Amino acid sequence: MRRAVAVALLLTAAPAMTGCIAAAAIPLAAGGVIGKKKMSGSEERRAERAPAAAAAQTAPAEASTPGVEPFKIVGVVSGGKMPGPSDPAPTVEGQPAPPKPPAGMQYLYGSGEGAAISIQAYQALWRYLSDRAADRKAGLDIRSVVLSPEATLEVPKFVPCGKKPLAVVLDVDETALLNIGFEADDAQRTGPYDDARWKRWEQTGAEDVAPVPGAVETLDGARRAGVVVVFNSNRSQANAAQTVAALAHAGLGEAELGKTLWLRVDGPNSSGKDTRRWEIAAKYCVVALVGDQLGDFTDLFNPGGVPVPIRRNMASQTMVAAMWGSGWFVLPNPVYGTGLHGSIDDIFPQDKRWTDPGPAPAPAPTPTPTPAPLGVAPDATLPTSKD
């Protein structure tokens, strides 16, 4: 009960949080001590991208369907009938249907459901940004959503805003930008994640991307409302020009390195984003963070060596849980990332297991009584023949 009350109070106060919150900590639900060693840059990079290759090994390799612009209805189904979930894919006469990409790619890059969740997140982001812009116009105090260096998940403290310009900070890949071309190629491959191939994609794939549904409209609205749009990505700073070109090609606006674009400088521990977030927060009053991985919000989520249930509780059972939807906004990514880990025992608690008892046995048939001869009462005793 105390945990629920504490989270409810923080949710209520989230839009008007002070620069230094010292609320009582909510303990992690699962036991154990969280290690302090952070992932190296290469370790976290592999952790973010490698699950895509693992998923490809579990399904036939094939090309994915090219992306479409958000909010645009493409094509009409022949005969006026929408295909059902079990209907076969359309085929060219004489040719077999193309194989399917991994389920996560189907969902994120092809499904209406994936597009709807993304639009939903960006709609919520726009309402939040619009409110903060109105607060600034009214002369109200604005609070940052960037955790300060001394913050913990149990006692979150935030970088002060002052009168700095309002800004929203977004991750790039699968948050604002869909890497359609790379994932189409990846769906046809097996094997581990290849960082060299990803770097080649950064250098040459600027025209084979699409915006995340809802992103273009929301970011355009944010800029019109006076909120600066800043990107903080683990793409390499060596490929900054190509990243700028990819963002522009997707209709996400202009970006300038060191002003509205922060990128990873290759080296040890370079995948952590907190240092870059603090640099951004020194220039701007960051009122919203947007990402598809927990590390897009704070490196405290990625200390390294944390069991899957503990990491889930870090996001949902600590004081920062109040931030989701109130300054922190998450986009779906079932294709790759730090969230795609865990065995059956990690994901499904032992006390929540179910075993199918099988179908109930059919009831025994009720015997049909033999009708009595005509003219004889049903309970009468018939005479016995002496012959």
Instruction: Find, among 7, 11, 8, the residue nearest to 25 by Cα.
Output: 7
Q: What local confidence, expressed as pLDDT, does residue 26 receive?
A: 26
State how far the Cα of 323 lies from the Cα of 151, in Å rounded to an integer: 14
Q: Is 7 a member of any domain?
A: no
Measured CA to CA in angstroms, residue 78 lies from 83, 96, 148, 263 at distances of 10, 19, 57, 46
In a domain, 145, yes or no: yes
Q: Is 180 helix (H, G, I), strand (E, B) or coil?
A: helix
The residues pairing with 249 across neighbouring beta strands, listed in sequence order, are: none
Report how far residue 285's alpha carbon sits from residue 291's, in angstroms, rounded to the nearest whole number: 18
Q: Please say whether the beta carbons of 157 and 148 come within 8 A.
A: yes
CATH code for the domain in which residue 139 is found: 3.40.50.1000
> pLDDT at position 373, please?
65
Residue 143 lies in a domain: yes
In a domain, 378, yes or no: no
Give the pLDDT of residue 381: 59
Task: Decide if 282 is inside a domain.
Answer: yes
Q: What is the CA radius of gyration of the chain?
A: 29
Integer angstrom CA distances of residue 368 from 296, 353, 380: 72, 43, 18
Q: What is the pLDDT of residue 137?
A: 97
CA count, 13 A, side-chain hemisphere, 25: 11
Distance CA 145, CA 31 (A): 28
Does residue 84 lie in a domain region?
A: no
Give me the DSSP letters along 133-176: HHHHHTT------SBPTT--SSS-BB---TTPPEEEEE--BTTT
Query: How far, in Å, CA of 256 to CA of 231, rounded?
Result: 9
**Number of folded domains in the chain?**
1
Domain range enclosing 161: 53-64+100-332
- Residue 225 covered by a domain: yes
State which residues of the chain have pLDDT below 50. Answer: 1-45, 51-83, 85-86
Instruction: Give residues with Cβ within 8 angstroms of 274, minimum separation 6.
Output: 147, 149, 298, 299
Asked whether residue 383 is domain-assigned, the answer is no
pLDDT at 69: 37
Q: Cα dihedral sign for 240, 122, 185, 339?
A: positive
Euclidean distance between CA atoms 272 and 268, whole angstroms = 10
